[in-house]
């Protein structure tokens, strides 16, 4: 049984943590993050699964310079191979791994929410891909908090714009953070604490 935890509901959006990756995520739009290069010998985990599902074209595009992985650069795959469960996949650039901070992942998560809303996706999943790039669990232990707050704030922003009758109502109904099986319990706890804290602080 795949690990799964509902963190809470925010402005009508169910926010969850699920032990799957961008290939397995059965959603309208699946996001994966990718740096300009990896800290180790190559792709691992979910990024490797995505690379393999795309028949090696992911790193080929990066190697050839068509998608470099620069910060907030995007690559949309709206005709994903059959091995990918999502209706579409977007890879978001994370820049240089050596200068990564938790703020980078927060910005990327917020950008993913905005893109999901712009594409009228009812469900979306987000894979931070930090450990897949070779970053350590110690260096990334505070990332979950920043990503959760960024997602909640991005949802708030659209709800406010919609209230001004400048945009349609929020189409998003389900947001999933992809979490690796090995670190699921700890990361899900961090998401849960960040959600509760930000919820309590909200007006």
Read out DSSP for 158-199?
HHHHHHTTSSPPP---EEEEE--GGGHHHHHHHHHHHHHHHH
pLDDT for the residue numbered 157 = 97
The answer to whether 18 and 178 are in contact (CB under 8 A) is yes
- The pLDDT of residue 83: 95
**pLDDT truncated to tens, each residue of the chain (203 aa)?**
789 999 999 999 999 999 999 999 999 999 999 999 998 878 888 999 999 999 999 999 999 999 999 999 999 999 999 999 999 999 999 999 999 999 999 999 999 999 999 999 999 999 999 988 888 888 888 899 999 999 999 999 999 999 999 999 999 999 999 998 988 999 999 999 999 999 888 77
Please report the pLDDT score of residue 2 as a whole number.
Answer: 85
Whole-number pLDDT of residue 145: 95
Place of tokens 């049984």: 1
Q: State residue 138's pLDDT score.
A: 82
The pLDDT score that the predictor gives to residue 29 is: 98
Token look-up 């393999």 returns: 52
DSSP class of residue 23? T
């Amino acid at each position: 049984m795949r690990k799964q935890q509902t963190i809470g509901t925010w402005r009508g959006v169910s926010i969850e943590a699920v032990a799957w990756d961008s290939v397995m995520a059965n959603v309208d739009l699946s996001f994966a993050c990718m740096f300009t290069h990896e800290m180790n010998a190559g792709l691992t985990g979910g990024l490797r699964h995505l690379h393999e599902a795309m028949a090696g074209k992911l790193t080929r595009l990066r190697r050839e310079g068509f998608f470099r992985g620069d910060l907030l650069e995007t690559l949309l795959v709206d005709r994903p191979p059959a091995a990918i469960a999502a209706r579409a996949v977007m890879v978001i650039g994370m820049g240089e791994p050596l200068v990564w901070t938790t703020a980078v992942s927060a910005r990327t998560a917020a950008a993913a929410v905005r893109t999901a809303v712009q594409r009228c996706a009812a469900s979306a999943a987000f894979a931070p891909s930090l450990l897949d790039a070779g970053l350590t669990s110690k260096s990334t232990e505070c990332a979950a908090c920043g990503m959760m707050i960024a997602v909640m704030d991005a949802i708030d922003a659209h709800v406010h714009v919609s209230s001004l009758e400048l945009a349609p109502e929020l189409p998003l109904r389900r947001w999933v953070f992809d979490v690796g099986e090995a670190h699921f319990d700890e990361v899900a706890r961090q998401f849960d604490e960040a959600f509760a804290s930000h919820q309590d602080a909200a007006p």
